[in-house]
């Protein structure tokens, strides 16, 4: 079974702090994604990566950056945390692009981040 692991289930940070959210997958997947999920707004894509050192902006990249130095690891960085970044953050990975190989998307268990 594919395993996508997010390093923290819960985080509490202060406004202005630099925050790192880590995600690791163990199945040699090409693509990795970061979403945030908020009540009433659904899942929103922040950034994604289709290869090591490659990144693409999603729908809401402002205030975030990402790093993918190794294939299995995709990090989300909040450069200066703000209260409006309080949210559930979900990492996901897939073997390839869904249209190429009908590859399902696999999610981690999420990180609940609170910025005070």
Partner 1 sequence: KQEVTQIPAALSVPEGENLVLNCSFTDSAIYNLQWFRQDPGKGLTSLLLIQSSQREQTSGRLNASLDKSSGRSTLYIAASQPGDSATYLCAGAYVGNTPLVFGKGTRLSVIA
Contact set with partner 1 (CB under 8 A): 4, 6, 33, 40-43, 45, 48, 50, 58, 88, 90, 92, 97-100, 102, 104-110, 112
Token reading at 57: 């902006």
Shortest reach from residue 16's CB to partner 1, in Å? 27
Shortest reach from residue 80's CB to partner 1, in Å? 26
- Identify which of 20, 23, 21 has the alpha carbon closest to the alpha carbon of residue 2: 23
Question: At 18, phi and psi to the nearest 5?
Answer: -90, 130
Q: In terms of CB distance, is 24 or 90 closer to partner 1?
A: 90
Q: In terms of CB distance, is 73 or 106 closer to partner 1?
A: 106
> Which residues lie across from 90 on neighbouring strands?
35
Q: By three-state DSSP, how is residue 110 classified?
A: coil
């Amino acid at each position: 079974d594919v395993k996508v692991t997010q390093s923290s289930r819960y985080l509490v940070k202060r406004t202005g702090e630099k925050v790192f959210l880590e995600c690791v997958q163990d199945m040699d997947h090409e693509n990795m994604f970061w979403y945030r999920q908020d009540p009433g707004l659904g899942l929103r894509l922040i950034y994604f990566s289709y290869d090591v050192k490659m990144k693409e902006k999603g729908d809401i990249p402002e205030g975030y950056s990402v790093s993918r130095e190794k294939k299995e690891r995709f990090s989300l960085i909040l450069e200066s945390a703000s209260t409006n970044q309080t949210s559930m953050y979900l990492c996901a990975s897939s073997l390839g692009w869904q249209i190429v190989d009908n590859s399902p998307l696999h999610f981690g268990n999420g990180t609940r981040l609170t910025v005070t």
